């Protein structure tokens, strides 16, 4: 027979961290700490093999296990100077489950095992605290009965309540030692009644009961279901950890505390924590007593309470040694728990500490500089989305906290665009433009937004909608613009007619101030001051010098390491020279998507666009397009100029033409008046363009095929812009992207037009233009026939928004009624509009890449959907061999980091 039980404690251990499969996560970590010479309460781990045996043999233990347990228990007794069941000096233990991976659904913990009517007296003698002893005893009975014997907690709670009523008190803490002592037999009576057997009185019986309960908990329905969902094999099993209890409440030489090896909020390299003398762990967390700072440095921040460093300098010194050893060993910031029992320090737990985005970056960069980790490891330590926190504007100081305290939190919606924003409520894009023009900050507030709201969204400081999900039009555009955005805030009843928002009894009028936090989804009444983040002050606003901002320097350093480590290129989606400039500042290596339709809405252009739509024939359309040409050319000159020779992928007009026309009778009549056309004619045109499913309608390249004049104008604008810059000696790399191609013939025809125009333009300007023509792969058919499409396409760019819509047969605009329910019920593991559905959409992408490159081995392939800035999707793009991802400028740093992590 093999070895089943592994000891740890007294600076020694049978196991170590590498033995997770055998000892589980918790057991191997305790062994590791003990092996490092860290003082942990001694104990032992019964291996996962025993669990497997127990399972297979239906509740039997392997031969020899009992002897091993006894032998190890003796070692614990020796080290603790106490004995299991000894009425004078009792050893108490905890029993915990611990599988390879942490797994909810299994038995968690039984504390203070070993207590009975005899040993409780020993505990009183040792702690001189009868109240604590009886409280521990009645808790132990309750906990054991619950997790080992299956007796529900409510019977015990009822007794507790009755006792409080009897005593005329409100809180448990007001019950005396005698009160609690009286409860113990009552609790045991409940156990007898409910479980049909007596509560075990001998510690050894208690111990084996708990061990069996841990092993049985491996097969509870909840645990089995969790394993199924998370693909955890049934035969891994769990280990059992039996560990001596230590007490921080054995008088004034005892204490308990928690600490972080670095500041979890800022990442500053300083030991940081809290403790309480003569207390148990839960007292520190519960907030009944105010914890003391752990050291003098921390005390300097304003606390008047004595620090551990002052109170127990020797122990503090040990703790410092230990935390340094732990951090050096685990090479990451640790979150530790410790207890001091009668002047002896025990480490109860160490684990990687949770931290803010700010802290994550600082710790990673500092640790590289300290030589603790290398740069690759630093990249692994920072979650890409952490970076967003460094970029988003913030509410200043404590203002928000106070507002919330004052009851000004109106509602919490979906956090669709991170950052804080504050402004006056407006209900229309026009009003937003007007008020912003007058110097006001505005929050554009709509039930939902549409492309016609773009100008207003651009002028607003924040966008707030009552409907739509995190991939609704409002959310997508807001993120693209880097605006604070809260969507789907159903609690807000927006009434355009009366110009009000009603929330419960509160009525907010147009012009009133609201503050929204797109990082949290909070909507707060009133004006809260916001400031741009430090990184933005340096990178975009240039109001702060890089050398003044430590945060910026670390951000920048981390990303430079990321750039060295990644294979995948990172571009940005940008529609204006300003966006392009921001993209460059964020480290974009090109523009992966210029959406030209946004340009069609701006200012006077919409008039010419509408004139084109209403034209009777090709000549009429050409005339109207002629008016747009110079304006559109200027757009491209601006973007090319900023990008200085980096590739710029421009997508031809994509949305159906009806998006450029108004829809209500009133609006149509007004437009007809403006344009000097008959209202009836305009209405007819609007009606004729109406579509049952615009998403699947006359849009994308289908427009350019029906109206080649549009393709020709756009090609001319792009290529003439390129030539103008080339003539000035600048480099330009335009990539013309034909949208919504389903069949190679569509692309072929559009490419012919572009090539013809290119020839004409090159002759006119007398220069050579180096341009490419490619396509957006956004329909399943394009991916499935990528070998044929690549005969014409010089590049692919996956339009994963539309590809997801068509692959799932799911409209992003309409998914709000059921998709959240799907994700909530785990019918879908996640929202496929947020992260690429690798099984379905991803399968098409793989087919697209493989077939495309089979025809054209050097085919450049990218992605320009919203997914291009989402870390898991970036990793998938890396995996299937894409050349680059493109995302909104603010997401470029995220993509750079995600790309590097994917390549590690």
User: Residue 282 belongs to what H/E stretch?
Assistant: helix 281-286
**Judged by CB under 8 A, which of 802, 866, 870, 883 binds its own copies?**
802
788: contact with its own copies by CB under 8 A: yes
Select from 269-277, 373-381, 821-829, 877-885 the region that touches its own copies (CB under 8 A): 821-829
- In terms of CB distance, is 201 or 834 closer to its own copies? 834
Asked if 571 and 592 touch (Cβ cutoff 8 Å), the reply is yes
Q: Do β-strands 506-509 and 12-13 pair in parallel, antiparallel, or remain unpaired?
A: unpaired
232 versus 810: smaller Cβ distance to its own copies: 810
Q: What residue has token string 């045991």?
A: 188
- Maximum Cα–Cα distance across the chain: 105
Nearer to its own copies, 189 or 823 (CB): 823
Q: Which of 280, 484, 807, 873 binds its own copies (CB under 8 A)?
A: 807
Binding residue (CB under 8 A) for its own copies from 305, 503, 629, 784? 784
Query: At 863, is the secondary structure helix, strand, or coil?
Result: strand
Question: Of 780, 820, 853, 872, which lies in the binding site for its own copies, with binding defined by CB under 8 A?
Answer: 780
- Show Cβ contacts of residue 165 under 8 Å, excluding neighbours closer than 6 positions: none
Shortest Å, Cβ 740 to its own copies: 6
840 binds its own copies, rule: CB under 8 A: yes
Cβ atoms within 10 Å, residue 302: 7
Residue environment code for 515-535, b if the CB has 16+ CB neighbours within 10 A, otherwise e: bbbbbebbbbbebbebebbbb
We find the least distance from the C-beta atom of residue 821 to its own copies, in angstroms, to be 7
Minimum CB distance to its own copies, residue 477 (Å): 16
Site for its own copies in 191-230 (CB under 8 A): none
Is 329 in the active site?
A: no
Tell which one of 394, 606, 696, 762 touches its own copies (CB under 8 A): 696
Minimum CB separation from its own copies for residue 688, in Å? Answer: 8
Q: Taking the complex as a whole, how short is the minimal distance between the CB of residue 709 and its own copies, in angstroms?
A: 15
Which C-beta is closer to its own copies: that of 254 or that of 805?
805
Compute the chain's Rg from CA coordinates: 34
Look up tokens 């949290």; give the residue: 520
* Under rule CB under 8 A, residue 691 binds its own copies: yes
> Given the complex with its own copies, which of 148 and 819 has the nearer CB atom?
819
Residue 692 found at the interface with its own copies (CB under 8 A) = yes
Helices (H), 485-541: 534-539
Residue 247 DSSP code: -
- Under rule CB under 8 A, residue 63 binds its own copies: no
Considering beta carbons, is residue 412 or 828 the nearer one to its own copies? 828
Distance from C-alpha of 463 to C-alpha of 457, rounded to nearest angstrom: 7
Task: Choose between 175 and 701: whose C-beta lies nearer to its own copies.
Answer: 701
806 lines the binding site for its own copies (CB under 8 A): yes
Helix (H, G, I), strand (E, B) or coil at 501: strand
Minimum CB distance to its own copies, residue 720 (Å) = 28
**Residue 662: CB minimum distance to its own copies, A:** 17
User: Using the rule CB under 8 A, is 809 a contact of its own copies?
Assistant: yes
Part of the chain binding its own copies (CB under 8 A), chosen from 287-295, 418-426, 593-601, 833-841: 833-841
Q: How far is the CB of 747 from its own copies (least distance, A)?
A: 10
Residue 208 or 822 having the CB closest to its own copies: 822
Does the protein bind its own copies through residue 693 (CB under 8 A)?
Answer: yes
| Marked catalytic residue, from 51, 422, 701, 864 | 864
Tokens standing for residue 702: 């289908």
Residue 506 to residue 315: CA distance in whole angstroms: 56
The span of 120-128, 358-366, 778-786, 887-895 binding its own copies (CB under 8 A) equals 778-786
* Angle, in degrees to the nearest 10, between helices 177-195 and 154-167: 150
Q: Is 805 in the site for its own copies (CB under 8 A)?
A: yes
Q: Where are the alpha helices (DSSP H) in 425-576?
A: 429-437, 454-459, 473-481, 534-539, 550-565
Strand partners, 93: 113, 244
Taking the least distance from each CB to its own copies, the nearer of 507 and 706 is: 706
Rounded to whole angstroms, the Cα distance separating 457 from 568 reads 32
821 in contact with its own copies (CB under 8 A):
yes
Rounded CA gap, 428 and 442, in Å? Answer: 11
Specify the residue, 113 or 742, whose C-beta has the smaller distance to its own copies.
742
- Let me know if 850 is exposed, middle or buried by CB neighbors in 10 A (0-12, 13-18, 19+): middle
Long-range CB contacts for residues 503-511, cutoff 8 Å, separation at least 24: 503/410, 503/411, 506/410, 508/410, 508/425, 509/425, 510/424, 510/425, 510/426, 510/427, 510/431, 511/424, 511/425, 511/426
Do 902 and 566 meet the contact criterion of CB atoms below 8 Å apart? yes
How is the beta sheet containing 109-113 ordered, strand by strand?
12-13, 5-9, 43-46, 238-244, 93-99, 109-113
745 binds its own copies (CB under 8 A): yes
Closest approach, Cβ 863 to its own copies, in A, equals 17
Verify binding: residue 828, its own copies, rule CB under 8 A. Answer: yes
User: Which residue, 420 or 841, has its beta carbon nearer to its own copies?
Assistant: 841
Stretch in the footprint of its own copies (CB under 8 A) among 316-324, 414-422, 521-529, 783-791: 783-791
Check binding of 817 to its own copies (CB under 8 A): yes
Q: Which of the following is catalytic: 386, 473, 658, 878?
A: 473
Minimum Å gap between C-beta 222 and its own copies is: 18
Segment near its own copies (CB under 8 A); pick from 71-79, 531-539, 802-810, 867-875: 802-810
- Count of residues that bind its own copies according to CB under 8 A: 48
Burial of 664 (0-12, 13-18, 19+ CB in 10 A): exposed
Nearer to its own copies, 179 or 837 (CB): 837
810 binds its own copies (CB under 8 A): yes
Query: What kind and span of H or E run contains 350?
Result: strand 344-352
Q: Which one, of 776, 816, 270, 294, lies nearest residue 573 by Cα? A: 776
State which H helix or E strand residue 97 sits in: strand 93-99
SS3 72: helix
Candidate ranges 585-593, 667-675, 790-798, 840-848; the one touching its own copies (CB under 8 A): 840-848
Task: Using CB under 8 A, pick the residue from 47, 72, 112, 785 that binds its own copies.
Answer: 785
Q: Does 837 bind its own copies (CB under 8 A)?
A: yes
- Report the SS3 class of residue 33: helix
User: What is the closest distance, in whole angstroms, from the C-beta atom of residue 889 to its own copies in the complex?
Assistant: 28
Element (H, E) at 464: strand 462-465
Q: Which of 698, 730, 772, 853 is the binder for its own copies (CB under 8 A)?
A: 698
For residues 832 and 769, the answer to whether their CB atoms sit within 8 Å is no
Query: Contacts with its own copies in 131-190 (CB under 8 A)?
Result: none
Footprint of its own copies on residues 650-669 (CB under 8 A)? none
Nearer to its own copies, 232 or 843 (CB): 843
386 is catalytic: no
706 binds its own copies (CB under 8 A): yes
Question: What is the token pair recorded at 284?
Answer: 């520190």
Is 711 exposed, middle or buried (CB count within 10 Å of its CB: 0-12, 13-18, 19+)? Answer: buried
| Sheet arrangement for strand 462-465 | 409-412, 522-525, 513-517, 420-426, 442-446, 462-465, 484-487, 414-417
Kindly state whether residue 811 participates in binding its own copies, applying the rule CB under 8 A. Answer: yes
451 binds its own copies (CB under 8 A): no
Catalytic residues: 473, 864
The binding site for its own copies (CB under 8 A) comprises: 691-698, 700, 702, 705-706, 740, 742-743, 745-746, 749, 778-781, 784-785, 788, 802, 805-811, 813-814, 817-818, 821-822, 826-828, 837, 839-841, 843-844
């Amino acid at each position: 027979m093999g070895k089943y039980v592994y000891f740890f404690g007294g600076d020694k251990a049978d196991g170590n961290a590498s033995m997770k499969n055998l000892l589980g996560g918790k057991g191997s970590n305790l062994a590791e700490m003990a092996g490092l010479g860290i003082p942990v309460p001694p104990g032992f781990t019964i291996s996962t093999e025993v669990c497997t045996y127990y399972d297979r043999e239906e509740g039997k233990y392997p031969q020899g296990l009992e002897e091993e347990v006894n032998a190890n228990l003796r070692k614990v007794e020796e080290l603790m100077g106490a004995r299991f069941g000894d009425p004078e000096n009792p050893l108490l233990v905890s029993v915990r489950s611990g599988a390879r991976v942490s797994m909810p659904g299994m038995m968690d913990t039984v504390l203070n095992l070993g207590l009975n009517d005899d040993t409780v007296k020993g505990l009183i003698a040792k702690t001189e605290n009868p109240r604590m002893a009886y409280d521990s005893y009645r808790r132990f009975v309750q906990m054991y009965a619950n997790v080992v014997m299956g007796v529900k907690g409510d019977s015990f709670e009822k007794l507790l309540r009755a006792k409080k009523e009897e005593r005329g008190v409100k809180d448990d803490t007001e019950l005396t030692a005698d009160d609690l002592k009286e409860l113990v037999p009552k609790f045991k009576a409940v156990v007898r009644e409910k479980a049909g057997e007596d509560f075990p009185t001998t510690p050894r019986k208690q111990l084996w009961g708990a061990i069996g309960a841990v092993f049985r908990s491996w097969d509870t329905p909840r645990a089995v279901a969790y394993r199924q969902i998370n693909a955890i094999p049934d035969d891994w099993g769990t280990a059992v950890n039996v560990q001596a209890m230590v007490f921080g409440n054995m008088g004034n030489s005892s204490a308990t505390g928690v600490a972080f090896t670095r500041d979890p909020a800022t990442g500053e390299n300083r030991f940081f924590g809290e403790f309480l003398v003569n207390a148990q762990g839960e007292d520190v967390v519960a907030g009944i007593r105010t914890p003391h700072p752990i050291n003098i440095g921390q005390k300097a921040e304003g606390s008047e309470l004595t620090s551990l460093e002052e109170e127990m300098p020797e122990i503090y010194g040990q703790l410092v040694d230990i935390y340094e050893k732990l951090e050096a060993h685990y090479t990451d910031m640790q979150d530790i728990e410790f207890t001091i029992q009668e002047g002896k320090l025990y480490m109860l737990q160490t684990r990687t500490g949770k931290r803010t985005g700010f802290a994550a970056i600082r710790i990673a960069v500092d640790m590289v500089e300290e030589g603790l980790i290398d740069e690759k490891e630093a990249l692994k330590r920072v979650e890409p989305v952490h970076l967003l926190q460094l970029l988003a504007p913030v509410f200043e100081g404590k203002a928000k906290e106070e507002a919330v305290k004052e009851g000004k939190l109106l509602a919490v919606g979906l956090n669709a665009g991170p950052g804080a924003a504050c402004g006056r409520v407006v209900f229309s894009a026009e009003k937003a433009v007007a008020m912003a023009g007058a110097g006001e900050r505005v929050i554009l507030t709509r039930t939902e937004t549409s492309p016609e709201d773009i100008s207003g969204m651009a002028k607003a400081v924040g966008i707030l909608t009552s409907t739509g999900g995190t991939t609704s039009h409002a959310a997508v555009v807001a993120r693209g613009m880097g605006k604070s955005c809260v969507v789907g805030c159903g609690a807000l009843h927006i009434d355009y007619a009366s110009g009000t928002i009603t929330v419960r009894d509160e009525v907010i009028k147009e012009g009133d101030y609201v503050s929204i936090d797109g990082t949290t989804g909070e909507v707060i009444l009133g004006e809260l001051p916001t400031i741009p983040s430090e990184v933005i002050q340096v990178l975009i606003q240039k109001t702060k010098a890089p050398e003044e901002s430590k945060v910026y320097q670390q951000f920048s350093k981390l990303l430079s390491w990321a750039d060295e480590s990644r294979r995948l290129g990172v571009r940005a989606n940008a529609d204006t020279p300003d966006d392009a400039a921001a993209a460059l500042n964020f480290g974009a290596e090109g523009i992966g998507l210029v959406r030209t339709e946004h340009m069609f809405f701006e200012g006077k252009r919409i008039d010419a666009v509408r004139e084109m739509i209403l034209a009777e024939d090709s000549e009429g359309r050409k005339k109207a397009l002629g008016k747009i040409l110079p304006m559109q050319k200027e757009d491209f000159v601006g973007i090319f100029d900023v990008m200085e020779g980096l590739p710029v992928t421009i997508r031809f007009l994509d949305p159906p033409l009806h998006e450029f026309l108004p829809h209500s009778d009133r609006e149509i009549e007004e437009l007809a008046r403006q344009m000097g056309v008959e209202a009836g004619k305009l209405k007819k045109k609007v009606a004729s363009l109406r579509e049952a499913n615009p998403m699947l309608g006359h849009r994308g390249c289908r427009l350019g095929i029906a109206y080649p004049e549009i393709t020709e104008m756009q090609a001319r604008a792009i290529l003439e812009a390129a030539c103008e810059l080339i003539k000035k000696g600048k480099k330009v790399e335009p990539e013309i992207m034909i949208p919504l191609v389903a069949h190679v013939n569509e692309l072929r025809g559009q490419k012919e037009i572009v090539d013809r125009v290119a020839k004409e333009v090159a002759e006119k300007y007398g220069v050579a233009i180096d341009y490419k023509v490619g396509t957006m792969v956004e329909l399943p058919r394009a991916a499935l026939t990528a070998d044929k499409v690549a005969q014409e396409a010089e590049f692919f760019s996956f339009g994963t928004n539309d590809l997801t819509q068509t692959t799932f047969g799911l409209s992003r605009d309409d998914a709000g009624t059921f998709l959240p329910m799907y994700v909530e019920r785990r019918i879908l593991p996640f929202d496929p509009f947020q992260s690429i559905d690798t099984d379905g959409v991803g399968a098409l992408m793989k087919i697209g890449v493989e077939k495309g490159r089979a025809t054209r081995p050097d085919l450049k392939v990218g992605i320009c959907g919203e997914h291009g800035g989402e870390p898991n999707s970036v990793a998938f793009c890396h995996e299937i061999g894409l050349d680059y991802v493109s995302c909104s400028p603010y997401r470029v740093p995220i993509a750079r980091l995600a790309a590097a992590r994917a390549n590690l």
